[in-house]
Structure 1
Amino acid sequence: MGFFRLLRWLLLIVLLVGLTALAILAADEIHSSRLQARYLARYAADLNYGVVEGASDAIRFPTHGPFDQRMGYVDLPLITQRLAERGFVPTHQARFSDELMNYTGHGFFTPYREKTRAGLDLADCHGEPLYQFRYPYRHYADFAAVPPLVGQALMFIENRDLLDASRPRLNPAVDWVRFTRAVLAQIGRMVNEDLDAPGGSTLATQIEKYRHSPDGVTYDAREKLRQMVSASVRAYRGGEETLPVRRELLLDYLNTVPLSAAPGHGEVNGLGDGLWVWFGADFDKVNALLAAPPGEGSALAAQGRALRQVVALMIAHRRPSFYLARSGRDDLAQLTDSYVRLLADAGAVAPALRDAALAEPLKFRDLVADPALLPADLGKGATAIRARLAGMLDASLYELDRFDVAAAATLNGPLQQAVSDFLGKLRDPEFARSQGLIGERMLAPATMDGVRYSFNLVERTPGGNRVRVQTDTSDQLFDINEGSKLELGSTAKLRVLATYLEIVAELHGRFAGQSADELRRIKVEQRDNLTRWAIEYLSSARDGSLPAMLEAALERRYSASPGESFFTGGGVHTFNNFNAGDNDRSPTMREALQGSINLPFVRLMRDVVRHTMYQVPGSTAQLLDDADDPRRMQYLARFADREGQVFLRRFWRKYQGKTPAEIQATFLDGLRPGADRLAAVFRYLSPQGAPEELAAFLRKRLADADLTDARIGQLYQRHAPEAFDLPDRGYVARVHPLELWLVGYLSAKPEASWPETVEASADERQAVYRWLFRTRFKGAQDSRIYTMLEVEAFLEIHRRWARLGYPFGHLVPSYATALGSSGDRPAALAELMGIIVNDGVRLPTARIEGLHFAAGTPYETRFARRAAAGERVMPPEVAAALRNALSEVVEGGTARRLSGAFKLADGTTLAVGGKTGTGDNRIAIGRGGARGLALNRTATFVFYIGGNHFGTLTAYVIGPEAASYRFTSGLPVQILKSMGPMLLPRLEPQAAGGCPSPRLEVAATPGNNPTLPTTTMETADE
């Protein structure tokens, strides 16, 4: 008995000693984290990544988390797809180690030194900054910049042992006392739901939560465990000693803590932005006040106010959307008072400072009267690049600015600034006079402030076209070069001439191989003058080559007489020349281009339209000549069913994927404004609409047109749904009835598929053409047939123009399009000039050279533009003929003041060519347009200089005041001449546009935080 009793006591003693030892070891581990430090530091050492060339085969992007979403990391897989569609390929990307792939595969957050501040960097072609945005806007640069009082206050409120220097290996992710208390409290809540359950989060786990957890919230215990594990591994990624990491945690929390969102500003993160947004407090002044010892009087009051604001924001993080809203501010003030007193009781705050803080009210910024707007200093080039980049990434400008991305633009920053400054100075009468810009058909000193200017310069390079300058002097956000629709006058003659010469080239391809006898036997339609001329030329020409035929085509003569009336656009129109002295001439097309004479181009457009009518497959144009042709009804039925689908598909492509509002806006923007036309469309699209709705619609679309209630009532009744069938309504509106029908159909059923649309339009396709043959008068019959055929011909002409860069989905079906009535964009004209300069090959126009996402992170990805060979869209012989003709505009035409103006340093004169255009856009009011409402006046010069540079320069006035301006395209020509000295150094052959060749120098660097090199990434003319 004695032995067994002794044995039990010995076992008990051993057990107690063991438990005591375990307790001592556990207590030591809780205090020192010695074992955690050893294991986790070894484990974290293998969680690394490097950067490799090309796309990575081992990388895992985050799928959620406010921080990862804001930085753009979550979207990188989709961004890669979008950029691939736009010709960009990954050149370098981070690659995870096997251990890191396994770790993140279990759902833990990738461990690395995360950025607290990032944003969009936009550099020019030299790598110099064009634009930079940083979010948060205000921050602590390093731990030393944090006033001790701020750090002490944060630790007192959130994590008191965080910077305990006596515990060098401390795991900052777990406070075991707080964690145990929180666990017990959660167990207690199972019994009593009203029991207060304090949180167990440390700063480290809070940061993991609001950065990486879904929606920045801890939804369950599993998510809390993920935060704790991720924070623990992150803490030991640099070794067992964690005090430096703990300082980083305090710094990171202060710089990134979420503090709700403010109207007009957006989300607020970090103490610095929080102080400025919510209290209007200067961050630097607050830090200076809290770093100084307590003062006296007003100085002490300012220190108290600063302390109160800082403490309030540290508390507000717990429920920022409540505490920072008006309804929660009283509660926040009471809690702030409590913590200020506790800080003083703990000795962290002097009594005098405590009393000063308690005496200061918590006064918030009035975000309506004093909105928290970030400063912005954007040049037009940077604005255009940002807008394009946002479109490429399918992001808003707000989102783009907060992405962790650097973009290399093609712009030449110094030249961009020099041109912008030069154009800006043109408002100064003395400067404008010194540049030769004051005078008749130029500028008048009294009205110079109303004129705006836009300029873009593009360089042809082996990898494509690079935009070197893109600027305008408007005070609007959108870019005139790319975002406008302006009537640019006679620059449209260049598009007409290009179409004409392309047709000649096609006719050469059809007939050049045939003998004279074979050519004479070819039947030519009566109105097809171009085919007839081509056959006659090839029948008798000694030189039947394409270049010779194109030169002959430019020598064809057209009358410049304004005496003829033209049936076009559904009505009778007359046109005038700018110079009455041209009225009796019959110039060649070459001479008409040089002098920008209107009537020859109107007649040329008529020939192009008539030729096109006979080229449309299944066209009924031939039936205009024979009213008794028994095929008319049968042919029309076949045409309506088969070819109606061809035209319907063109319209379908125009509206596919748009919302009902976008569909109607696109349609109405292409409609020539007029009360009857708009009323006809409105009553079709909104048959139940009230007269008041029609009135609002017309006044919005016709601006200042004088429309009385009686007139609106008359229009409402005249265009009632039962008044016209679809074809008649299309005729009144001067649009293809099938387009009008499709707009109505897709507005009601935007999700409809193409087969459903075809099936639904069967009756309409028949009706659109059948109605034309119901009249017994051939003249009226033919005029309506001709109007429809003209609309269809312009669809084909539009296809040609779009292939050459025309930016809009619609042409006005009228010969006036030859003089600019369909509108254009300066950037689109520059693209056409680029095709001509590049021998008929359309090269992609680049404004962005490369992109660098998430530099120095495990998600780092670099993209570069893939070199493109371009697409041939014009025969090289046509391009050469156009270049020669455009050079003659400078040598002896409307741009002759530029002749010999560009000489290189060695005395070489650069070849210069271009086309001028003046647009005077008005809405005609009254019978015969006796009165007019001015909309804008423009003067444009689209040009090429040398063999590799081209662009546009436009002067414009928008609004009714345009009526008082008389400048013509001589103005932009003279401005370009004045800009010569600043442009010439960039036009030297060795200058390459003043920009280095694009290149991306990246070396794969192993390690957790690789450092990589940055990317060098009246329509008339004088």
Structure 2
Amino acid sequence: MVRDESRTSERQARHLSELDQQLTFRVEPGPSDAIRYPGAGPYDQRLGYTQLPRFIDGLERQGYEVTAQARMSPKFLELRDRGLAAIYREKDESGLDLAECHGRTLYAQRFPQRVYGAFDELPPLLVDSLLFIENRELLDPEHPKRNPAIEWDRFSKAVLDQARHLVDDSHRAPGGSTLATQIEKYRHSPEGRTDSGREKLRQMASASVRAYLDGEDTRAARRRIVLSYLNTVPLSAQPGFGEVNGVGDGLWAWYARDFAEVNGLLREPGGSGGAPARALAYKQALSLLIAQRRPSHYLVQGEADLNALTNSYLRVMAEAGVIPAGLRDAALPIRLSLRAQAPEEVQGSFIDRKAATAVRGKLAVALGLPRAYDLDRLDLRASTTLNGDVQRAATELLRSLADPQVAKAEGLYGFRLFNEGDDTSKIVFSFTLFERGNGANLLRVQTDNIDQPFDLNEGARLDLGSTAKFRTLVTYLELVAELHARWSPLSPEALAALSVHPRDALARWARDYLLQAPGASLKAMLEAAMDRSYSGDPGETFFTGSGAHHFENFEPEEDHQMFTVREALKHSVNLAFVRILRDVVHHVMSQSAKAGEALLDDRDDPARQAYLARFADQEGRVFLTRFYRKYKGRSAEEAEELLLHRRTPARLAAAFFGLEPQADAQDLAEFLARRLGSDKLPGDKALQDLVAKYGPERWSLGDRGYLAGVHPLELWVVGELRHRPEASLSELVAQSREQRQDVYAWLLKTRHKEAQDRRIRNLIEQDAFGEILRRWQRLGYPFEMLTPSYATALGASGDRPAALAELMGIIVNHGVRQPVVRVPSLLFGAGTPYETRLEAQPAKGERLLPAEVADTVRDALAGVVEGGTAGRLKRSFVLKDGTPVQAGGKTGTGDHRFMVTGKGGQVISSRVVSRTGAFVFYIGDRYFGTIVAYVREPYAARYKFTSALPAQLLKALAPTLLPLLDEARSCGVATTTVRARG
């Protein structure tokens, strides 16, 4: 019975096929209560099955919910709990699939990339060679029910050899693994290794049960084992390629061979290239079948050993009749040469790659994966909100603009656009479009024309110019709304009795307006605030940002006009917005309890000392940083020469004892001789006088710096680096707290009250900008610092297109910030016992602005298109029935320069670092986004375009976008509706 069973597997077949009928799983709604995730096998890790609990936990914290998951049958769970691998038809290849919003594939990866689709595609020569090396009885048709997981004669011999090896270390003990158990090993055993007898039995048991999934007859399963092995056998890893699995990928990675060409040579004895070409192809394929035993050795560092072992197999296989003698003889002289790096892969279409790059980056972050490499190898299908048709069309247009003829055809040449002779290929264009969905903002298009990972939309701090007026306007109206909420309930008497800071023009106007219009609604007050007038006069000097500033208008005719806030936004009038921001800053300053006139009047107010100490610390850091950068890395002699060039003996003595506080008269004499020369060295009495007058502990750091004729902190930094050249800037900052206060001790003296007041006002202004920054950040401003100057209204603090789009989304959604959704659903492990579907359930939108404020801003932005700086877009969006779609936005031109000025303020040199034209826009009730044109040095100085360029480009994109406006939902309700939590 045992002998018959070992040959036929009759009883195993009956029992295991009946068992397999109970190993089922089904997918049902909601999280599974009957699932066992796999262990740390390479296959399960690579495809993401092992990490599924971590993925699910992280995604749930980000607003996703498990909407469906597999349930394993009781018998399935029982075998998993006993240690067997999950028994199902495993995938030989898988990878990331991204679908656009219509369900069409946007991006797909498959690993391995080069595989045989069916057993009949395998070259018989390759199959015969594999079976001779690894599993000679596997395809024996004599016993159709045979268990392919065990060859009893090999297994028995392996057991005996292992037992003998325990007694005699010199006795070789090769394994008895079949191809089926090898697959179990490299897929599901930790690190793909067999580390114990128990693990070997687990592999055999799992392979045995898996073999009977199709019933008692295992002939088809055995062919599938050969196919899977050749498609997935691990063949180490290689720079430029990564993990290599399967003969197909192995031929490409290690030998740079075309898969189809090699297979053609292996199938046809007289194939292309004749006998030498066939012999080379066969020897390379054979070497990979052999190398799998120790792939990291043979393929990475053991090329000579691999050649020798392959030649040995060629001889043995010819003697056994597996291969013709002629093939052996042709192959033996050939020396295998492994590549140190895989050949470069042919990239997919620029357009298709661009469409998926941004989403893949976000998805990798969401899953906590450090590399796109790991993401691409997951068994994952994710739906995206991207509209593939529009994405592709927009990318094609942006890319085509590198041709000046196309740019001209799209109207991009002319006044404030490109000039004749401009090279359009140097310009980076970026376009982002969102759709306001039900509970979420859906990314429809995100593209640019650069074939690089860099994301201009989210990855750079750009000078976007007057788009900052958009943020300034929102803050201005937000403050008006707060004044209305506070003061509109008051009686006329209470309003009249309100004390308003003399410099707070905004609060004074609000009080007077409410006195004249008692009971006015917020909407009415906001409209009145938009009708306030501001001058465009550039002749005023503005004291801001710790200095006197002058600003200019873009158009000279604006210099002598008055503009309402509405008109100032429409025509982007610089001086009007500088004055609007000044009103905002003064209002915020007046709201601070520390900012009252009493603080400046009362010399004894302790808050004054706190402000002055803060100023000393802040400005001291600035100087400390400057001096550190000036002297770091210089030798003591170089620093000394730079600091003390052409000084008198008295100044040198004052400086020397600051650098060397432990020095004496002899040290001073040597120092002066080095600096002045021996012939100019003071006499002994003069030297003693210098020591007495300027010696250690004689003066404070501030006084010593004055006596030495250098900035005290410069003297201190040079002294510290002289004795501790390895010191870092952070260490010096931490160490210099007392020194920074000492240097500004003069400021604390009451006779310098005017100087104190000036600095206190600057700090109060900085605090006001800190409050404005907090407001901007609440609305999506992406940076931790705001330039404390009225120049911020003109873009001095920089911005990001994505952040501006977020703000526009708040305006379009009537003051509510909705979460952004790029990936509404994810499906892990489709068709496996681990199948898990998650869908985005974003949190409820957050109201950040009163609806009246958002709607007032929206109406004002429409004026920019109706007759302002983006007027070229007027009536660019018209539905099929002739109905015009309202559009609005804000333009911005950034001319970022590095300038060097002289003492009188004259410009010594000017270098154009970058030039930017930006337009943040909305179209109708649902769509909004940004479009940017950007060029950096060394090309930036050649161009003179303004924000008219992106506005014209959006007009060129209008035919592509119009179909979206005619649809109820651009991708259909079923694929874009996202439920909101809360």
Bin the TM-score by the shorter chain. Answer: 0.7 to 0.9
Structure 2 counterpart of 1:87, from 63, 86, 90: 63
Determine if the alignment matches structure 1 residue 45 to structure 2 residue 28: no
Residue type of the alignment partner of 1:681: T
Distance change >3 Å, CA 473–CA 794, structure 1 → 2: same
Q: What is aligned with 2:959?
A: 981
Q: Which stretch shifts more, 161-170 or 602-611?
A: 602-611
The Cα of 1:542 is off from its aligned counterpart by: 4.8
Does the 8 Å CA contact 1:938/1:954 hold for their aligned counterparts? yes
* Map of 1:572 onto structure 2: 548
CA distance in 2, matches of 1:105, 1:427: 61
Q: Which residue number corresponds to residue 811 of structure 2?
A: 836
**Within the alignment, does 1:267 sit opposite 2:211 as a pair?**
no
Measured after TM superposition, the shift of residue 619 of structure 1 is 3.6
Residues 441-840 of structure 1 aligned to structure 2 (within 5 Å): 441-447=416-422, 448-542=424-518, 544-616=520-592, 619-620=594-595, 622-632=597-607, 680-681=624-625, 689-691=632-634, 773=748, 776-840=751-815
Contact 1:460 1:948 in 2 (8 A): yes
Q: CA deviation at 1:381?
A: 2.5
Q: CA deviation at 1:777?
A: 1.7
Q: Secondary structure at the match of 1:788?
A: helix
- Match in the other structure for 1:182: 158
**Preserved contact between residue 544 and residue 789 of structure 2 (Cα < 8 Å):** yes
Alignment of 1:345-424 (within 5 A): 345-367=319-341, 371-373=343-345, 375-377=347-349, 378-395=352-369, 396-424=371-399
Native 8 Å contact 1:108 1:230 kept in 2: yes
What are the equivalent positions in structure 2 for 1:51-130 lying under 5 Å apart?
A: 51-130=27-106
Structure 2 residue matching 1:198: 3-state secondary structure: coil
Given candidates 880, 905, 921, the residue that maps to 2:896 is 921
Give the residue type in structure 2 aligned to 1:968. Answer: T
Q: State the partner residue of 1:12.
A: none
Return 626-635 or 972-981, whichever deviates more: 626-635
Q: 1:407 deviation in Å?
A: 1.1
Among candidates 261, 264, 276, match of residue 285 of structure 1:
261
For the Cα contact (< 8 Å) 1:452–1:955, is it kept in 2? yes
For residue 467 of structure 1, give the secondary structure of its aligned residue in structure 2.
strand
Give the Cα separation in 2 of the matches to 1:636 and 1:804: 29
What SS does structure 2 have at the residue aligned with 1:130?
strand
Q: Which amino acid aligns with 1:963?
A: A
1:538 and 1:678 map into 2 onto residues whose CA distance is 46
Q: What residue identity is the alignment partner of 1:518?
A: A
TM-score relative to the length of structure 1? 0.83
Residue deviations 1:862-910 (CA, integer Å, cap 9, x gap): 1111154311111000011101111111112111222222211111111
User: Cα distance 1:678–1:73, how it changes in 2: closer, same or farther (>3 A)?
Assistant: farther
Deviation at 1:432, TM superposition (A): 2.3
Cα drift, residue 403 of structure 1: 0.7
The equivalent residue for 2:665 is none
Inter-partner Cα distance in structure 1 for 2:760 and 2:587:
16
The percent of aligned pairs where both chains have the same amino acid is 49
The 3 A distance-change label for structure 1 pair 431 and 294 is closer
80 and 282 in structure 1: CA distance in 2 versus 1, 3 angstrom threshold: same
Q: Which string of whole-angstrom CA distances, capped at 9 and with x for unpartnered residues, describes residues 104-136 of structure 1?
A: 122221111111111111111111121111111
Structure 1: how far apart are the matches of 2:185 and 2:841?
39
Q: Give the conservation status (yes or no) of the 8 Å contact 1:772–1:785.
A: no
**Cα deviation, residue 926, structure 1:** 3.1
The change in CA–CA distance for 1:791 and 1:212 in structure 2 (over 3 A counts) is: farther
Kept in 1, the 8 Å contact 2:437–2:977? The answer is no
Letter in 1 for 2:756: Q
* Cα pair distance change 1:353/1:775, threshold 3 Å: farther
Paired AA for residue 391 in structure 1: V
C-alpha displacement at 1:143, in angstroms? 0.8
Alpha carbons 2:891, 2:920 under 8 Å: kept: yes
Q: CA deviation at 1:294?
A: 5.1
Secondary structure at the counterpart of residue 431 of structure 2? strand
Return closer, same or farther for 1:218/1:769 CA change in 2, 3 Å cut-off. Answer: farther
The amino acid that maps onto 1:84 is E
Unaligned runs of 5+ in 2: 647-654, 661-699, 704-710, 715-726
Distance 1:918 1:768, change over 3 A: farther
The offset of 1:789, in angstroms, is 2.5
* Cα 1:274/1:372, change in 2 over 3 Å: farther
Contact 1:294 1:352 survives alignment (8 Å): no
Using the TM superposition, give the Cα deviation of residue 44 of structure 1 relative to its aligned residue in structure 2, in angstroms.
2.6
Cα shift at 1:585: 1.7
Could you tell me which residue of structure 1 aligns to residue 664 of structure 2?
Answer: none
Unpaired runs of at least 5, structure 1:
1-24, 649-670, 696-708, 732-743, 750-756, 1002-1022
Decide whether the 8 Å contact of 2:64 with 2:841 is kept in 1: yes
Mapped partners of 1:729, 1:950: distance in 2? 54
TM-score normalised per structure 2: 0.86
State which of 880, 886, 891 in structure 2 corresponds to 1:905. Answer: 880
Cα distance in 1, alignment partners of residues 243 and 900 from structure 2: 50
Cα deviation, residue 61, structure 1: 1.0
Would the alpha carbon gap of residues 212 and 542 (structure 1) be closer, same or farther in structure 2, given more than 3 Å must change?
same
Q: Post-superposition shift, 1:427?
A: 2.6
User: Does the Cα contact within 8 Å between 2:623 and 2:713 map onto a contact in 1?
Assistant: no
Shift of 1:489: 0.7
Structure 2 letter corresponding to 1:104: R
In structure 2, the partner of 1:1004 is: none
CA displacement, residues 276-296 of structure 1 (integer Å, 9 cap, x when unaligned): 110111111111111113569
Counterpart CA distance in 2 for 1:764 and 1:77 is: 55
* Aligned-partner residue type, residue 775 of structure 2: R
The number of aligned residues is 900
* C-alpha contact 1:311 1:336 (8 A) present in aligned 2: yes
Instruction: Give SS of 1:914's match.
Output: strand
**1:833 Cα deviation from its structure 2 partner:** 1.1
2:930 maps to what in 1? 952
Letter of the 1:610 counterpart:
H
Residues 363-415 of structure 1: CA deviation (Å, up to 9, x unaligned): 22352xx7444634343221111111111111110101111111111111111
Please, what is the CA RMSD of the aligned residues? 3.5
Secondary structure class of the residue paired with 2:939: helix
Aligned residues of 1:455 and 1:954 also touching (Cα < 8 A): yes
Provide the rounded CA distance (Å) in 2 between the counterparts of 1:170 and 1:762.
83
Matching of residue 328 in structure 1 with residue 302 in structure 2: yes
Local SS of the residue matching 2:332: helix
Give the Cα separation in 2 of the matches to 1:351 and 1:533: 102
Q: Is the 8 A contact 1:204 1:231 kept in 2?
A: yes
- How far apart are residue 346 of structure 1 and its match? 1.6
In the superposition, relative to structure 1, how do residues 331 and 968 fare at CA in structure 2: closer, same or farther (>3 Å)?
A: same
The answer on whether the counterparts of 2:385 and 2:976 sit within 8 Å (CA) in structure 1 is no
Deviations 1:822-848 (A, max 9, x none): 111212211211111111011112221
